[in-house]
Amino acid sequence: MERRTLFQGWKLPVALVLPQLLLTFVFFLWPAGQAVWYSMTQQDPFGLGSVFVGLSNFRELFADPLYVHTILRTLVFCFAVSALAMTVALALALVANRELRGRAIYRTLLIWPYAVAPAMAAILWLFMLDPEIGLLGHPLVKAGLPWDYHVSGLDAQFLVVLASSWKQISYNFIFFLAGLQSIPQSVIEAARMDGARGWRRLRTIILPLLSPTMFFLLVVNLVYAAFDTFGTIWALTEGGPGKATETLVIKVYRDGMINQDIGGSSAQSVVLMLGVIAITAVQFRFMGRRTKT
């Protein structure tokens, strides 16, 4: 349905849109523009002046094998987080969609983690999995399990994937549950009478009907894992040990804020920005096509 409101003149519409435009400008366009500008400059070592260097920051960036490594590491991290968060959320939603006793409590509890601040969540995971003081980690180490994310890169990666996924499960759960509830009951019953059960019904009826939800969530989860996990990772490992858990945003922060390489860090930001624009464009195309048919 299309709704159109016709305004007389242009002053009122402009006045109504202005606050939004100002916010977008101050918090997005202005810093983004600055980042683009800085990405083409080189700061002198004392931060007193800068010179225009064109695309040389970008050239340096992609010539650096460490950066390419970070990109790959980030991709793996993003897909791992998305896969884990979506699989667990879907399983939970399938259970919550059944006729269950205490269903309302179960659903409410599952939504809570979403409200926990990233750093808080990270601390909670530390209390659980720290090899020295963790409620779970310490007994495991005592039982002989070689577990120390301060030392082992693999352990640290496992930890950040776990903590980051946990945050996103609630969000996915809500969407999956809504998606499941929008599947007509009679379609499921028709499938029952056709003899489809369990895994087969899930694969041939439920998942295909959930695919718009899944695609949407995949994009949201990838973007989340790429950007919103900064707080969680920084609080857990600060990107370490070594660079084992250093994703692109961590690297941007480290290079820009700690190593004071404003030009190089800005170039990285611009690359990230292009990435988001690409993902969003793909999503809009798909979503647009879906709603039109």
**Residue ranges binding another protein (CB under 8 A):** 184, 186-187, 189-197, 200, 204-205, 208-209, 211, 293
Residue 187 or 258: which CB sits closer to another protein?
187
Strand partners, 41: 52
Residue 192 or 285: which CB sits closer to another protein?
192
Residue 75 or 183: which CB sits closer to another protein?
183
DSSP 156: H
User: Could you tell me the smallest distance in angstroms from the CB atom of residue 209 to another protein?
Assistant: 6
User: Could you tell me the smallest distance in angstroms from the CB atom of residue 87 to another protein?
Assistant: 21
Residue 59 or 203: which CB sits closer to another protein?
203
Q: Which residue has the tokens 């225009």?
A: 52
Residue 90 or 249: which CB sits closer to another protein?
90
* CA atoms in the 13 A half-sphere facing the CB of 73: 23
User: Could you tell me the smallest distance in angstroms from the CB atom of residue 184 to another protein?
Assistant: 7
For 153, 156, 240, the CA distances from 244, given in Å and listed in that order, are 5, 7, 5
The answer to whether 98 touches 116, Cβ cutoff 8 Å, is no
User: Could you tell me the smallest distance in angstroms from the CB atom of residue 89 to another protein?
Assistant: 22
DSSP string, 188-254: HHHHHHHT--HHHHIIIIIHHHHHHHHHHHHHHHHHIIIIITHHHHHHHTTT-STTTT--HHHHHHI
DSSP string, 21-80: HHHHIIIIIHHHHHHHHHTTEEE-TTSS-EEE-TTHHHHHHHH-HHHHHHHHHHHHHHHH
User: Could you tell me the smallest distance in angstroms from the CB atom of residue 208 to another protein?
Assistant: 4
User: Could you tell me the smallest distance in angstroms from the CB atom of residue 194 to another protein?
Assistant: 3
Residue 103 or 200: which CB sits closer to another protein?
200
